[in-house]
Structure 1
Amino acid sequence: MTRITLTMQDDAVLAEFRASKALLEGHFLLSSGRHSAHYLQCARVLMNPERAARLATALAAKLPHDLRRQINKVVAPAMGGVIIGHEMGRALQVDAMFVERPEGTFELRRGFSLEPGDKVLMVEDVVTTGKSSQEAIVAIDAAGGEVIAAAALVDRSAGTAEFGVPFTALVALTFPTYAADELPPELAARPAIKPGSRVQP
C-alpha cells in the first residue's frame, strides 16, 4: 500500500472550504432535523477532483495506523458520502461502495456486496448527530462486513457522536445547532433553507 503522508491543519482545511464557497451562512435545516446559522456544503468542496483527493488523503493519514492497514473496503452512505467515500477508497487503495435508502433503510444495491470478514471503513462527509452513520454501520454489518473504523471530513457533533468504533474527522467544528422549538430570534426571523438535506422543511 502506498504510504499516506499528507497532513493538514484545521485552518488549511477551512481554507479549502472557503476557497470553494462551501462554508455558508444563513438559516439552514440540516439532515438531522436541527437548525443552524452555518452550513458546510461538502458537495462544493469536493467538486474539484484535486481538492477532493487532497482532503481524502489528509483524512486517510489521520486514521490510526493499525486500523488503516487492515481496511480492505470503504462504504459511505448516499448521497453525501459518495464522493468522499470514493476518494477515501483511492487514498487507501481499496474498493469503495455506498449504501442507499430505496425504501427508507440503508442497504447495498447496484451489485455491491461485502465478503464475510471484510474490514470496512464507514465514511461520511459531515457528522452532526451521527444518526445516518450509525444506520449505515447497521447496514454494513447486515451485509456481512465488519466496520472497524468510522471517519468524516467534518465532525459537527461536538464530540457526542458514538459509533462503537474509533472515529476520525479531518476537522471538528462547533457551530451551534438548534431544535425547531429553541431557535434564537434572529434565526427564527429568517426562512429555513434545506441545502441538500433529506428532511423536508
Structure 2
Amino acid sequence: MNDDDILAEFRAAQALLEGHFILSSGKRSARYLQCARVLMDPLRASRLASSLAARLPREIRSEIEVVVSPAMGGVIIGHEMGRALGLEAMFLERPEGTFELRRGFELAPGHKVLMVEDVVTTGLSSREAIEAVERAGGKVIAEAALVDRSAGEVDLGVPFVPLLSLDFPVYEPDELPDELAAIPPEKPGSRKK
C-alpha cells in the first residue's frame, strides 16, 4: 500500500476528522485521525497490519518474539500485527496511571518485543510503554505504528517504522491560530486528562 491507498482507507472509514482537537499530548490540531474507526473493519485492519508488517526491515522482523501494544489505542493494531507476523500479541494497561502487563501476560527475561501503536505524536506514551516492557523483563527492539504525526522527529530510542507519516500542524493551547480558536475543542482520544 502506498500513502494514497492508506489515506483512502482512513477516508473510507470516516476516520480523518476536521475541527479543533485536543491531542493526548495536550497540543491542539485542526485534523485528527480516529484510528479506532479505521480499525473497526477487521478486513481493513488486517490489510493495514499486513502492509505495516511488510515495512519492517527483515533483520528486525526475524528477531521479534512477541508483539506488545499499549491500551487502548494500540490493542487492535497490535493484535493484527501479531496475526500478520504469526506471533502472540499482548497489551499494557494503566490501572493506576502507569503502564503494566496484567491479565496473566508475562515476558520471559530478554524477550524481544515489537511495540505497536496506533498513532505516535510526541512519543511520550511509546516511551512509557517501552519502560513498562523493560520493567517486565522484555526488550523492545523496534516500534511500529499506523501513523507518525511527529513530522519524523520522534526519538523512541529504538527503530521506528510507521505505515504513514503525516505532518498536520499542531499548536500549544495558548498559541492557536484565530480560525482554530473560534471552534470549540474536542478530545476524541482515549486519554481524557
Q: TM-score, normalised to structure 1's length?
A: 0.95
Query: How large is the RMSD of aligned CA atoms in angstroms?
Result: 0.7
Residues matched between the structures, number: 193
Give ranges in structure 1 of 5+ residues lacking alignment.
Answer: 1-7
Q: TM-score, normalised to structure 2's length?
A: 0.98
Q: CA deviation at 1:32?
A: 1.0
Does residue 169 (structure 1) correspond to residue 168 (structure 2)? The answer is: no
Per-residue CA shift, 1:57-80, capped at 9, x if unaligned?
A: 000000011010110100001100
> Contact between 1:30 and 1:197, CA under 8 Å: does it hold in 2?
no
Q: 1:184 aligns with which of 177, 183, 191?
A: 177
**Counterparts in 2 of 1:24-103, with a 5 A limit?**
24-103=17-96
CA distance in structure 2 between the aligned counterparts of 1:164 and 1:35, rounded to whole angstroms: 25
Q: CA deviation at 1:163?
A: 1.0
Moved segments of 4+, more than 6 Å: none
> Contact between 2:73 and 2:190, CA under 8 Å: does it hold in 1?
no
Give, as a single letter, the amino acid of the residue that structure 2 aligns with 1:135: E
Q: CA deviation at 1:160?
A: 1.4
> Contact between 2:121 and 2:148, CA under 8 Å: does it hold in 1?
yes
Does residue 120 (structure 1) correspond to residue 113 (structure 2)? The answer is: yes
> Contact between 1:33 and 1:199, CA under 8 Å: does it hold in 2?
no
CA distance in structure 2 between the aligned counterparts of 1:32 and 1:121, rounded to whole angstroms: 23
Give ranges in structure 2 of 5+ residues lacking alignment.
Answer: none
CA distance in structure 2 between the aligned counterparts of 1:159 and 1:116, rounded to whole angstroms: 31
Q: 2:147 aligns with which of 154, 179, 198?
A: 154
SS of 1:123's partner is strand
Query: What is the aligned-residue identity percentage?
Result: 71
> Contact between 2:134 and 2:140, CA under 8 Å: does it hold in 1?
yes
Query: Which residue number corresponds to residue 13 of structure 1?
Result: 6
Query: Which residue number corresponds to residue 5 of structure 1?
Result: none
Give, as a single letter, the amino acid of the residue that structure 2 aligns with 1:183: L
> Contact between 1:114 and 1:143, CA under 8 Å: does it hold in 2?
yes
